[in-house]
C-alpha cells in the first residue's frame, strides 16, 4: 500500500512540476497501479504455492495425534476373586495332574455337588485385576511415505506447474489489455486537443469574418442578413468549442483514472501539441504460426489443454493400486504394554498399506471418460480460437491499411480545403465572391482538418490493434 501511495505521490509531483508525460510514462503508471494486474500477480503467487504443495506429496508425511479421555469408573477384568486349581508333577505318568481331594474309601477324587474339590488353589484377587482408567491419555507420531499412487502425484505436479504458467500468460493478457486501453485514452486526449486547437482557430476565423462583415454593413456593401448568417456561424463555433473543451477534460480524467491517478489530475501529454504525428505505413508480414506462438490467449488455451490431459491421468489413477509405507511411534497412559500402570508406555510399529480398487459399477471408468471429453472440448476451443484469430489478424491488417489510405486522402483534401478557403477569402474581399461561398469554404476547411485529425489518430490505433492481435505489442 505504501508503494502505491508513493507512486501516486511521485506522479502528482511530476505533473505539478509541469513535466510533460509521454505515452510510455502513462503505460508504466497504469501497469503499476492497475488492480486487475495486481490480482493477476497474486494469482501467480497462489499458483506457485499450489505447485509447492503438490511437490510436497512426494515426501514423507509426519503427523502427531494426541487424545485425552476421562472415565468415571475403573475397569476390572474379573467380577470377584478367582481361585484356580493347581497341578503337581506325577513321576509315574510323567504328566501334571490336578491336586484334587481323594476319597479314602474309593481312592478316587471326591466330588461335592458334582464338582471336584481341589486340595490347593491359586488366588487371583479382584483388586489385582482392577485398573485405574479415570484419566486415559494416548498419542501417536506417524510417518507415511507414498510409494505408488497410480500416477496421481506426478500428474498433480504437472497440473500445478502448468497452472502457474497459465497464470503468467493470463497476467500478460491483462497487461496487453491495459496497455491498449491506455493507448486509446492517450490518443483520444491528443485527438481532442488537436480538435480543441482547431475549434479555437475556427472561432478566430469566424470572429475575423464577423468583424469584416460588420464593417461592410456600416459601409453599406453588406446586408443585415449577411451579418446574422455570420453571427449564427460564430455561435455554432463557440458551442462546438465548448463541447470540445468538455471532451478534453473528460478524456484527461479517463486517462488519469487508467494511470491510477486522481481523476482531476490534468496531465500535459508529449504529443498533444504536435501538428503532425508522422503517421507512416509500417510493413507487416503475417505468419500465423508466429502469431499463434506470440498470442497469450493461444498459449493459455494450449496450457489449459495440457492441464485437462493431466486431469485424465488423475482420474485414471483412481483405478490404479495405491501403496504406501507407514511407521508409527505410539504411547498410552495407563501403560497398556506393562500392566496398565499409571505411566506412559511407548512402542513403535512399521508396516505398509495397499489399496486395490476392484469393482465400482463403472463409476471410475466413467470418470475417466468424462475427463477425456473435457480434454477434447479444450482442443476444439483451441482450434476454434486459432481460426477466429486468423480472421481477426487479417481484418486488423485490412483496417490498418485502409486507415492509412484514408489518412493520405484527408491530407490531400485538407490541402484543397486550404486553397479553397484562401481563394474564397480573396474573392469575398474583392467583391467577386459571396458570403455563402466563404462560409461554405470555412466549413469545408473545418471538416477537412477534423477528418485529418481523426484519420491520423485512427492510423495510430489500428496499428496498435494490429500489433495487439499479432502478439507484437512493444511495452
Give the angle 469-473-475 at the CA atoms, nearest 5°. Answer: 150
Residue 423 DSSP label: H
- pLDDT confidence of residue 466: 95
Residue 93 DSSP label: T
Cell of 75: 475397569
- pLDDT confidence of residue 128: 78
Report d(CA 472, CA 469) in Å as an integer: 8
CATH code 1.20.1600.10 region(s) in the chain:
2-33+156-318+359-470
Cross-strand partners of 351: 326
Phi/psi for 122 (5° steps) reads -105, 120
Cross-strand partners of 100: 118
Cell of 401: 491499411
The three-state (H, E, C) secondary structure of 202-229, written as one string? HHHHHHHHHHHHHHHHHHCCCCHHHHHH
Report d(CA 375, CA 395) in Å as an integer: 30
| Closest among 158, 129, 161, 167 to 45, alpha carbons compared | 167
Helix (H/G/I), strand (E/B), else coil: 123: strand
Helix (H/G/I), strand (E/B), else coil: 175: helix
- pLDDT confidence of residue 73: 86
CATH architecture of 2-33+156-318+359-470: Up-down Bundle (1.20)
Q: What is the pLDDT along the chain (475 residues), one digit of tens a residue?
A: 344 444 444 444 444 445 789 999 999 999 999 999 999 999 999 999 999 999 999 999 999 999 999 988 888 888 888 888 888 888 888 888 888 888 788 878 888 887 888 888 888 888 878 888 888 889 999 999 999 999 999 999 999 999 999 999 999 999 999 999 999 999 999 999 999 999 999 999 999 999 988 888 888 878 888 889 999 999 999 999 999 999 999 999 999 999 999 999 888 898 887 777 666 777 778 899 999 999 999 999 999 999 999 999 999 999 999 999 999 998 988 887 777 788 888 889 999 999 999 999 999 999 999 999 999 999 999 999 999 999 999 999 999 999 999 999 999 999 999 999 999 999 988 888 888 899 999 999 999 999 999 999 999 999 999 999 999 988 7
Residue 52 DSSP label: H
Contact (CB, 8 A) for 377 and 312: no
| Closest among 291, 230, 151 to 442, alpha carbons compared | 230
pTM of the model: 0.80
Residue 16, CA distances (Å) to 80, 131, 150, 270 in order: 98, 85, 64, 15
Q: Which residues contact 471 (CB under 8 A, 6 or more apart)?
A: 291, 293, 294, 295, 296
- pLDDT confidence of residue 125: 87
Cell of 361: 459399477
Cross-strand partners of 95: 90
Contact (CB, 8 A) for 440 and 423: no
Distance of CA 66 to the CA centre of its chain: 40
Amino acid at each position: 500500500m505504501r508503494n502505491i501511495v508513493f507512486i501516486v505521490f511521485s506522479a502528482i509531483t511530476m505533473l505539478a512540476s509541469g513535466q510533460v508525460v509521454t505515452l510510455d510514462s502513462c503505460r508504466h503508471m497504469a501497469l503499476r497501479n492497475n488492480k486487475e494486474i495486481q490480482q493477476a500477480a497474486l494469482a501467480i503467487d497462489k499458483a506457485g504455492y499450489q505447485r509447492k504443495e503438490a511437490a510436497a506429496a512426494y515426501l514423507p508425511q509426519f503427523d502427531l495425534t494426541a487424545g485425552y479421555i476421562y472415565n468415571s469408573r475403573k475397569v476390572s477384568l474379573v467380577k470377584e476373586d478367582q481361585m484356580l486349581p493347581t497341578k503337581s508333577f506325577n513321576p509315574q505318568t510323567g504328566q501334571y495332574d490336578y491336586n484334587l481331594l481323594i476319597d479314602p474309601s474309593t481312592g478316587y477324587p471326591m466330588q461335592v455337588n458334582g464338582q471336584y474339590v481341589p486340595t490347593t488353589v491359586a488366588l487371583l484377587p479382584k483388586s489385582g485385576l482392577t485398573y485405574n482408567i479415570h484419566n486415559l491419555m494416548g498419542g501417536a507420531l506417524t510417518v507415511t511415505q507414498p510409494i505408488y499412487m497410480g500416477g496421481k502425484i506426478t500428474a498433480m505436479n504437472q497440473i500445478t506447474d502448468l497452472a502457474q504458467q497459465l497464470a503468467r500468460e493470463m497476467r500478460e493478457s491483462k497487461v496487453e489489455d491495459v496497455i491498449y486501453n491506455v493507448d486509446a485514452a492517450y490518443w483520444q486526449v491528443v485527438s481532442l486537443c488537436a480538435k480543441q486547437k482547431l475549434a479555437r482557430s475556427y472561432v478566430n476565423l469566424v470572429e475575423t469574418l464577423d468583424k469584416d462583415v460588420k464593417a461592410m454593413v456600416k459601409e453599406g456593401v453588406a446586408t443585415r442578413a449577411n451579418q446574422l448568417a455570420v453571427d449564427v456561424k460564430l455561435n455554432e463555433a463557440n458551442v462546438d468549442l465548448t463541447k470540445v473543451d468538455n471532451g478534453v477534460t473528460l478524456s484527461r480524467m479517463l486517462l488519469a483514472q487508467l494511470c491510477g491517478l486522481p481523476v482531476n489530475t490534468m496531465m500535459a501529454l508529449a504529443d498533444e501539441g504536435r501538428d503532425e504525428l508522422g503517421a507512416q505505413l509500417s510493413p507487416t508480414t503475417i505468419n500465423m504460426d508466429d502469431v499463434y506462438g506470440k498470442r497469450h490467449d493461444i498459449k493459455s488455451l494450449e496450457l489449459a489443454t495440457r492441464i485437462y490431459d493431466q486431469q485424465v491421468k488423475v482420474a485414471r489413477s483412481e483405478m490404479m493400486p495405491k501403496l504406501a509405507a507407514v511407521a508409527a511411534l505410539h504411547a498410552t497412559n495407563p501403560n497398556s504394554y506393562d500392566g496398565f500402570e499409571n505411566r506412559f508406555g511407548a512402542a513403535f510399529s512399521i508396516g505398509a498399506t495397499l489399496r486395490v480398487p476392484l469393482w465400482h459399477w463403472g463409476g471410475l471408468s466413467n470418470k475417466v471418460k468424462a475427463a477425456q471429453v473435457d480434454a477434447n472440448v479444450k482442443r476444439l476451443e483451441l482450434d476454434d480460437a486459432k481460426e477466429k484469430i486468423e480472421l481477426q489478424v487479417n481484418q486488423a491488417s485490412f483496417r490498418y491499411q485502409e486507415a492509412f489510405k484514408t489518412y493520405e486522402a484527408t491530407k490531400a483534401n485538407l490541402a484543397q480545403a486550404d486553397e479553397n478557403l484562401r481563394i474564397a477569402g480573396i474573392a469575398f474581399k474583392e467583391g467577386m465572391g459571396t458570403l455563402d461561398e466563404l462560409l461554405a469554404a470555412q466549413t469545408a476547411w473545418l471538416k477537412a482538418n477534423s477528418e485529418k485529425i481523426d484519420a491520423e489518430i485512427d492510423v495510430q490505433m489500428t496499428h496498435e490493434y494490429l500489433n495487439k492481435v499479432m502478439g507484437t505489442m512493444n511495452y
